[in-house]
A = this chain, B = another copy of it.
Amino acid sequence: VLVDLDRDLPLPLSVQLATQLSDAIRRGSLREGATLPASRTLALQLGVSRGVVTAAYSQLSTQGYLVMQQRSVPRVAALPSTAPSTEREEAAPTPLVDFTMLSPDLGLVPRRDWRRVLEHAIRVSPAQVLDYGDPRGQLELREALVDFLGRTRGVVSSPSRVIVCQGSLQSLDIACQLLASRGAARVALEDPCAAEIRTAVRRAGLRPVQIPVDAEGIRVDLLAAEAPDAALLTPAHQFPTGSVLSERRRADLVDWLVRTGAQLVEDDYDAEFRYGTPAVPTLQEKAPDRVMYAGSASKTFAPGLRLGWLVVPESAADAAGRIKWSLDGGSPGLEQVAFARLVTSGAFERHLLRARVEYRKRREALEAALAGALPRTRVEGGTGGLHLTLRLDRPVDIGALDAAASRQRVRVQAVESFLHEPAKRAERLVLGFARLHPSSSAHAAASLATVLQLAGGA
């Protein structure tokens, strides 16, 4: 018997079903390509309502375990290679609630649109798409990005200044190499920030200068006082704290750039998603000759495209192209041609519109559920992106938090673990909500409450 649901457990039946199915898939009892019963059939077999089965199937499809297609029964997908790290903790069971997922719900990706533009790209691309090309990328994508970024983010650019990269990870790597090649030595970073940023800075031989972040974003006064050669920031939605750089500090930062001739790398990693609050303008728009602007399709469309971009000042365009060439000879052409068409056809912005509505719902559902389950906690930061930041009512030991989370099959990270010198105690949590369906918010928040209780906090 693969599935054994227990009505006495405090877990919703749909979550139990999804978990047992995903366990079976991971241990190989359900092999790739195996078909599952139609929801109506399985519901009858298990004696549950059809909604329980469809909710479980939809969760498994979101997590990549099942392939669901119109008019056919679900099939087991190729095994998900889950973690972005290579460590396959084969033993660790699938988390029941995963707050560490910061990437978009692939179920929302308009796969038919994507397939259509890809097939079009295959049909129309000349043989040169199989050759080495301009290492900065396919011209049609760079043109499409100039228009799109100008329209949606006010970015001032031209095709020659756009470098198509492998996701924003490579955009930041190239930006750091560029800073180094332009003579920068000390680079201010937000503390806390993503670990990958520290890696890119270190690899380029740059010396990081840690600047604290508060509710208004990075402390620009402290930054200016340190007089670094450059800064690498996430002004529109600081990762991981969620702070939005305040208007006063934005003005001070632009002033600092112009006054000192310093350079800024603006990592605009999730700015397309704002819910009910006005979009935060870019700094690049204010000082296009001092700012390298980095973005990607990883949050707005799908990370598997590995499409990112870097817009550099005209004076750095040539050097940026050379660095991209020396790193990997340029990105593959076909998906660039396809994505360009997705953008110019309007399909990309239609998707953004729909995704924004859905993510707003998910965020609001999670906020409401947290308010219910953890009434003394507080959501902080801007209302954008695919994660929110939760301030706990009292700190918990991070070791105890990890242990409790692991026991409850919850994955969650503290803001404090992103500090340059990771703290021992968590005061805030980073909660990714993009893959958290509103129907699971209550369960997710309740699980988190249990974890915090076990860990001795909240």
Contact = CB atoms under 8 A, between A and B. Distances in A.
Given A119-B119, A328-B173, A329-B166, A151 B36 contact: yes
B4 A278 contact: yes
A37 interface: yes
Interface string A77-101: 1111100111100000000000000
B31 A128 contact: no
A10 interface: no
Contacts of A321: 85-86
A18 interface: no
B103 A131 contact: yes
A100 B55 CA distance: 45
A326 B200 contact: yes
Interface string A95-132: 00000000100110101001100110010001111111
A333 B346 contact: no
A238 interface: no
A27 interface: yes
Nearest to A337: B78
Contact of A170 (B86, B106, B328): B328
Given A86-B158, A86-B160, A346 B136 contact: no
Contacts of A81: 128, 133-134, 139
Given A86-B325, A159-B87, A346-B37, A150 B31 contact: yes
A346 B77 contact: no
A329 B84 contact: yes
B127 A122 contact: no
A86 B317 contact: yes
Contacts of A159: 87
Nearest to A75: B126
Interface string A31-70: 1011111100100110000000000000001001001000
Interface in A158-192: 158-161, 165-167, 169-170, 173, 177
Nearest to A335: B332
B132 A1 contact: no
A280 B2 CA distance: 10
Contacts of A205: 205
A131 B305 CA distance: 8
Contacts of A128: 64, 77-78, 80-81, 106, 304
25 contacts: A1-B153, A1-B278, A2-B150, A2-B153, A28-B156, A29-B154, A30-B147, A77-B127, A78-B140, A79-B139, A81-B134, A84-B132, A84-B325, A85-B325, A86-B314, A118-B122, A118-B334, A130-B302, A130-B304, A169-B329, A173-B327, A196-B326, A199-B326, A205-B205, A304-B332
Given A2-B153, A29-B155, A78-B128, 19 more contacts: A2-B150, A2-B151, A29-B154, A31-B147, A34-B147, A67-B126, A77-B128, A78-B139, A78-B140, A79-B139, A84-B132, A84-B325, A87-B160, A114-B130, A118-B334, A130-B304, A131-B304, A133-B304, A304-B332
